[in-house]
Amino acid sequence: MRNYEIEAYIRPDGRVGVRNHVVVLPTVICSLFTARRIASVFPQAVCIENQHGCCQIGPDLELTTKVLVNTAKNPNVAAVLVVALGCESVPYSRVVKEIEETGKPVDLVVIREEGEIKAIEKGIRILRDFVEYADLLKREKTDVSELTVGIECGGSDWTSAIAANPAVGYVADKLVDLGATVIFAETTELIGAEHILAKRAVDEKVAEKLLSVVKAVEEKARSIGVDIRGGQPTRGNIEGGITTIEEKSLGAIYKAGTRPVKGVLDYAEAPGEKGLYFMHTPGQDIES
């Protein structure tokens, strides 16, 4: 299939985005208020709501750090102001360093070094420069194959499986055929349909991982004596005509189209190659 030209923002690392956000990134919930105050001055700025970052250790801390870094690395982001408290678990200097690898502008404000008021003032000065920088950026012509597209379904009802999700799946197929990358998610919304997706895996290893992440979610629920059907389908899903978790899953997988599943990504992991990927995430829309 022939490729298509689009106009998008080409970042210093070569990745392509269709938005041009200036992000304020609090590394811990304790710096969230300050980050909000700084971002509120500029309509172009987006404050990432972070409820974590303190009293975390091990894999939990590593996951939070990875989410912060890869959110900032997203090619829809033009520049990043990191707002740290100064005593959090998250290694904020590492966060800044890893964002710098993209080549996009990034700076840091540490509240305990500046004081609350001075930190806000400094953050506003930095953000003003970032907003001016972003405003000067222009969309450039590039190929649609450079895009990475995340697909999501929310508020599912009985019509989702016959209208919205198949339509999204059609677009997903077209994007994959054109060489782009597509990611779908929500592990709890595969339960009862995982065997169908596993048949579309590019190899046995991918199929096994797909089945294993679904099994792990079910086993975790059983280990604490919880029936996962108490949360899936949701009350809204049921009121919309969905009767079982399997019915919801069978409808949800339509949004992934029909192309081979190239890999299973961990939460916040970036794909290494182009194609269709599943990301292991919660079923809650905001987190996924």
Q: Where are the domains of the chain?
A: 5-136, 147-279
Residue type, 250: L
- What whole-number distance in Å separates Cα of residue 72 and Cα of residue 66? 10
Helix (H) or strand (E) holding 16: strand 16-17
Query: Which sign, positive or negative, has the C-alpha torsion 167, 217, 210, 75?
Result: positive
- Whether 91 has a pLDDT exceeding 80, the answer reads yes
pLDDT tens for residues 253-272? 999 999 999 999 999 999 99
Give the pLDDT confidence score for residue 287 in this predicted structure. Answer: 82
Q: Which residues pair with 264 in a beta bridge?
A: 278
- What whole-number distance in Å separates Cα of residue 207 and Cα of residue 155? 28
- Whether 13 has a pLDDT exceeding 60, the answer reads yes
Residue 68, Ramachandran bin (φ over 0: left; ψ between -120 and 50: alpha; else beta): alpha
Give the pLDDT confidence score for residue 151 in this predicted structure. Answer: 95
Give the residue-averaged pLDDT of 157-176: 94
- What whole-number distance in Å separates Cα of residue 123 and Cα of residue 88? 19
Asked if residues 97 and 72 have their Cβ atoms less than 8 Å apart, the reply is: no
For the chain, the first-to-last Cα distance in angstroms comes to 31
- What whole-number distance in Å separates Cα of residue 153 and Cα of residue 164? 8
Higher pLDDT, 37 or 224: 37
Give the residue-averaged pLDDT of 168-184: 97
Two tokens at 5?
A: 């030209």
Confidence of residue 2 (pLDDT cuts 50, 70, 90): low
Give the pLDDT confidence score for residue 237 in this predicted structure. Answer: 87
Two tokens at 21?
A: 């956000």
Helix (H) or strand (E) holding 264: strand 261-265
Two tokens at 85?
A: 């408290």
Give the pLDDT confidence score for residue 283 in this predicted structure. Answer: 82
- Whether 1 has a pLDDT exceeding 60, the answer reads no
pLDDT tens for residues 199-247? 999 999 999 999 999 999 989 888 888 777 667 788 888 888 888 888 8
- Who's near 36: CB < 8 A, 6+ residues apart? 24, 47
Q: Is 125 helix (H, G, I), strand (E, B) or coil?
A: helix
Q: How many CA atoms lie within 13 A of 150 on its CB side?
A: 22
Give the pLDDT confidence score for residue 257 in this predicted structure. Answer: 97
CB atoms within 10 A of CB 9: 21
Mean pLDDT of the chain: 95
pTM score of the predicted model: 0.92
Tell me: domain 5-136, CATH 3.40.50, correct?
Answer: yes
Give the pLDDT confidence score for residue 215 in this predicted structure. Answer: 95
